[in-house]
């Protein structure tokens, strides 16, 4: 259970799941990466692979040139819809408040002296 929670808490897990849940169908790697934003190809690939290993994401490769690969949620992955979308709605509703708080905290963090070696 700890491993699963760790995976769900990883940096790109929620954005990946959120976009796959909101998509009307399977998503190609490039489309998913563009939707998420600043994720690197390697980070996205690793996140998708880990989700595939635990049975949350399905990967389908088509024998075409160029190779086409699509990702979608399995029934197990779809069972995450309620908690993930609820968290997404909460983040959207409170985005302004969170941004204000982040701006208040950031000056404090940059003012802290660096630890000496």
Mean pLDDT confidence for 96-114: 75
C-alpha to C-alpha distance for 24 and 99, rounded to whole angstroms: 30
Q: What is the pTM of this model?
A: 0.76
Q: pLDDT of 13-72, one tens digit each?
A: 999 999 999 999 999 999 999 999 999 999 999 999 999 999 999 999 999 998 899 999
Mean pLDDT confidence for 81-97: 89
C-alpha to C-alpha distance for 20 and 83, rounded to whole angstroms: 14
- Range in 3-7, 54-58, 69-73, 74-78 with the lowest mean pLDDT: 3-7
Structural domains of the chain, with CATH: 2-104 (1.10.10.10)
- Answer whether residue 8 shows pLDDT above 80: yes
DSSP letters spanning the chain: -HHHHHHHTSTTHHHHHHHHHHSSS-EEHHHHHHHH-S--HHHHHHHHHHHHHTTSEEEEEE--SS-EEEEEE-HHHHTTHHHHHHHHHHHHHTHHHHHHHHHHHHHHHHHSPPPP-
């Amino acid at each position: 259970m700890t491993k699963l929670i760790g995976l769900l808490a990883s940096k790109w897990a929620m954005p990946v799941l959120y976009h796959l849940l909101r998509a009307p169908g399977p998503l190609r790697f490039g489309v998913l990466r563009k939707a998420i934003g600043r994720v690197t190809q390697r980070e996205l690939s690793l996140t998708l692979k880990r989700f595939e290993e635990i049975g949350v994401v399905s990967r389908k490769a088509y024998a075409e040139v160029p190779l086409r690969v699509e990702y979608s949620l399995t029934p197990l992955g779809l069972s995450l819809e309620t908690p993930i979308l609820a968290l997404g709605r909460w983040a959207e509703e409170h985005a302004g408040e969170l941004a204000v708080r982040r701006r208040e905290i950031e000056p404090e963090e940059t003012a802290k002296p660096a630890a000496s070696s």
